[in-house]
């Protein structure tokens, strides 16, 4: 049994049913094949009544077809059938074999999913190593008459909130009575800010459809494209900001640390800017008059560095150009804590961007940060949101706190963005170059700094997701090159009016 290198996409999960009421007199393998053509992304073979012999033979046929699409086949409940067929895993219910035993029998590579309807069940399944959860039953459905409870969108959201930490690596789908008329609002209303659904599982909406291929295609389109009611006014304005950066090619003045200068210059170019990397304060007045933005990054702060920063900050404040502060390692040393105080007293920063330790240092916390990397978080989601809101309100600017999820606020509007990829944590300067990206967006959205920050975060983090899942990316080294490519591609696509990448915004 193996996962075969699948990067599982749970967007549209087909669960089969062989009963005449749903399948009619059609052949199940044909129906599955049609739905694969339509675009389903995972298939679970579920048949509660047929003989073991029939189950194995049908599962083998489906597995043969599905392998061409490189998506996983899971078997409902029957580990013996999954083992006999050698498919990618199983889906188990609360009354089936327990998860620990299933894992022991199938091994670490198998995909094991579990049905959950309560917070307790979900937390237990996450603790026991489920790869994904089928949360439901969403709405009562004739397909499953033994359903104990229907939990609706509010119940689903409560489950997601409860596992946002312990289940952050566990994928989730909802199931039960979902079809084309409700799929978009179900996804929107069920997802919590701290954890969203990865997709939707359906039985009858595809298996009972007259044309399963078309039904699957239609459903997939609805899952992939956020509905108008889910797209805030701000999100709709993001492409115009990115496009404007590409059209105006603003100067990106980086007073940044020794470690990331080259990388930051490449990123500035890729997102549409024109980089100038100089830490000499004396030059700043001339440069500040060229309509670009300034990044002050304290990554390798020195005493004369501080004077240079102050000189540049004041020049940009006078010229009206936007300035972003990246207080790198702000909580790590007394020198850096005092540098932050000095800088905040010397001028105005449109955006302050940092990790949790750095934003705490900006707030004035004396908590010790270890090095310049983000340490373990000590704050709950509510505390993070409150921290960014309070610092932004105090400074009358925008504060962006990066992490697995990014919290940002202008003191009134507070948002969480869940894009990005783990590989960003494995390369040097990924936070610094995000600062460069956001600073360029500020030149295109001078009136709404929060919108600029959202545009920068989405451009950067969605490009990172696309880069990380590219076939040619083997690890951190190849990821850096791919990230620069994809930053460039997102800029180019947006300029050409292709906004497909925006559907990944979370």
Which residues are at the interface with ligand TPS (CB under 6 A)?
Answer: 13, 15, 44, 46, 76, 91, 113, 115, 134, 136-137, 141, 143-144, 173, 175-178, 201-205
CB of 82 to ligand TPS, least distance (A): 14
CB 226 within 8 A of CB 197: no
What tokens were used for 61? 């046929």
**263, 266, 270, 272: CA torsion to nearest 10:** 110
The structure tokens 């990554």 sit at 299
The CA angle 294-300-301, to the nearest 5 degrees, is 80
Q: Which residue is nearest to ligand TPS (CB)?
A: 134
Rounded Cα–Cα distance for residues 320 and 414 (Å): 25
User: Which of 144, 459 has the CB closer to ligand TPS?
Assistant: 144
User: Which of 129, 403 has the CB closer to ligand TPS?
Assistant: 129
CB of 42 to ligand TPS, least distance (A): 8
Rounded Cα–Cα distance for residues 313 and 403 (Å): 27
Rounded Cα–Cα distance for residues 243 and 260 (Å): 26
User: Which of 113, 357 has the CB closer to ligand TPS?
Assistant: 113
User: Which of 41, 204 has the CB closer to ligand TPS?
Assistant: 204
Q: At what angle do helices 449-468 and 430-444 cross, to 10 degrees?
A: 140
CB of 164 to ligand TPS, least distance (A): 20
| Rg of the Cα atoms in the chain | 25
Nearest to 238 by CA among 455, 506, 463: 455
Rounded Cα–Cα distance for residues 209 and 187 (Å): 21
User: Which of 15, 66 has the CB closer to ligand TPS?
Assistant: 15
Residues serving a catalytic function are 432
CB of 142 to ligand TPS, least distance (A): 7
Q: Report in angstroms the alpha-carbon separations of 299 from 140, 242, 255.
A: 56, 27, 10
CB of 29 to ligand TPS, least distance (A): 19
Rounded Cα–Cα distance for residues 159 and 122 (Å): 7
């Amino acid at each position: 049994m193996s996962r075969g290198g699948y990067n599982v996409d749970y967007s549209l999960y087909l669960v089969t049913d062989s009963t005449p009421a749903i399948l009619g007199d059609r052949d199940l393998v044909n129906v599955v094949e049609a739905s694969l053509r339509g675009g389903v992304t995972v298939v679970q073979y579920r048949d509660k009544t047929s003989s073991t012999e029939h189950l194995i033979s049908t599962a083998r046929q489906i597995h043969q077809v599905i392998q061409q699409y490189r998506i996983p086949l899971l078997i409902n409940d029957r580990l013996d059938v999954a083992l006999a067929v050698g498919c990618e895993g199983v889906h188990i219910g609360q009354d089936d074999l327990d998860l620990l035993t299933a894992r022991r029998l199938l091994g670490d590579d198998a995909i094991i999913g579990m049905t959950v309807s309560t917070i307790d069940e979900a937390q237990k399944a996450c603790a026991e190593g489920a790869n994904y959860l089928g949360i439901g039953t969403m709405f009562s459905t004739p397909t499953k008459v033994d359903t104990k409870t229907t939990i609706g969108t509010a119940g689903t959201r409560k489950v997601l909130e409860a596992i946002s930490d312990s289940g952050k690596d566990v994928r989730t789908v909802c199931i039960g009575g979902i079809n084309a008329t409700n799929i978009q609002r179900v996804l929107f209303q069920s997802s919590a800010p701290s954890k969203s659904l990865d997709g939707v599982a359906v039985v009858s909406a595809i298996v009972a459809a007259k044309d399963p291929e078309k039904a699957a295609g239609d459903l997939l389109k609805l899952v992939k494209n956020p509905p108008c009611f889910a797209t805030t006014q701000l999100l709709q304005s993001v492409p115009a900001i990115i496009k404007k950066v590409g059209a105006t090619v603003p100067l990106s003045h980086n007073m940044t640390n020794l470690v990331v200068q080259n990388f930051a210059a490449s990123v500035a170019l890729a997102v549409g800017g024109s980089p100038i990397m100089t830490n000499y304060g004396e030059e700043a007045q001339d440069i500040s008059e060229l309509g670009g933005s300034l990044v002050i990054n304290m990554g390798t702060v020195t005493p004369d560095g501080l004077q240079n920063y102050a000189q540049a900050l004041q020049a940009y404040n006078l010229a009206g150009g936007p300035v972003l502060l990246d207080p790198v390692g702000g909580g790590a040393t007394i020198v850096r804590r005092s540098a932050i105080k000095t800088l905040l007293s010397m001028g105005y920063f449109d955006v302050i961007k940092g990790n949790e330790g750095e934003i705490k240092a900006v707030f004035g916390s004396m908590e010790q940060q270890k090095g310049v990397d983000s340490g373990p978080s000590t704050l709950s989601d509510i505390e993070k949101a409150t921290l960014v809101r309070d610092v932004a309100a105090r400074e009358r600017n925008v504060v962006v706190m990066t992490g697995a999820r990014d919290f940002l606020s202008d003191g009134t509007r507070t948002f969480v963005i869940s894009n990005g990829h783990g590989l960003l944590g494995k390369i040097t300067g990924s936070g610094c170059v995000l600062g460069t990206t956001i600073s360029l967006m500020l030149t295109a959205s001078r009136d709404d700094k929060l919108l600029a920050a959202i545009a920068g975060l989405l451009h950067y983090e969605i490009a990172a997701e696309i880069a990380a899942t590219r076939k040619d990316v083997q690890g951190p080294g190849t990821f850096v090159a791919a990230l620069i490519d994809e930053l460039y591609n997102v800029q180019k696509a947006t300029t050409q009016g292709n906004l497909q990448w925006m559907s990944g915004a979370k």
